[in-house]
Amino acid sequence: MQIETARLTLRQPGIDDAAAIFERYASDPEVTRFLGWPRHRMVEDTRAFLRFSAEEWKRWPAGPYLILSRADGLLLGSTGLGFQTSQEAVTGYVLSEDAWGRGYATEALAAVIEVASSTGVVRLSALCHPEHSASRRVLEKNGFVLDDPPTRRALLRTAA
């Protein structure tokens, strides 16, 4: 399933995307420092993610998406849904450093929220590192509310 927004294309990743994902964001220590998954040290780490992604897409109505610029097709990052049940999922996003501060995360997240709602998700959550204020603002702009005030880590949104 491909999604288009005003400036972005979101699409399912494939094994041929491994090198671009690795180079654009997955191996960058600055990009990955607040993420819940470790920085990819070699392209085989990225291929393992892509195998996982393909399995998620087989099992659920959606999964990880790549975020690309509609203007030139440049890979900007990734987002998507991780289903816990048919009605409960988690989301997140990562963007290459040169894509930061342009509103891409907000735009991509809004599209993923629509996908979640259309697939029957009624509880959508996202984790946010307490020091990552820019990411917290993206989540809040998209209607997520703080679920765990002492740690400021978990933000959740009820998709309706």
Confidence (pLDDT) at 160: 45
Tokens found for residue 54:
């393909």
Enter the CATH code of domain 3-157. 3.40.630.30
Specify which residues 157 forms β-bridges with: 124
Q: What is the largest CA-CA distance in the chain?
A: 42
Q: For residue 131, what pLDDT is reported?
A: 83
Length of the chain: 160
CA atoms within 13 A on the CB side of 99: 23
Q: Which tens digits make up the pLDDT trace of 83-94?
A: 999 999 999 999
User: In the numeric block, which tokens belong to residue 6?
Assistant: 């005003």
Which run of H or E residues covers position 108?
helix 104-118
Lookup: tokens for 120 = 């029957």
Q: What's the pLDDT score for residue 5?
A: 98
Low-confidence residues of the chain, pLDDT below 50? 152, 160
Q: Read off the pTM.
A: 0.91
Plot region of 120 (φ>0 → left; ψ -120 to 50 → alpha; else → beta): left
Are 25 and 95 in contact by the 8 Å Cβ rule? The answer is yes
**Average of per-residue pLDDT values in the chain:** 91
| CA dist., res. 130 & res. 6, Å (int) | 30
Tokens at residue 70, please? 């509609």
Inter-residue contact 118 to 143 (CB < 8 Å) = no
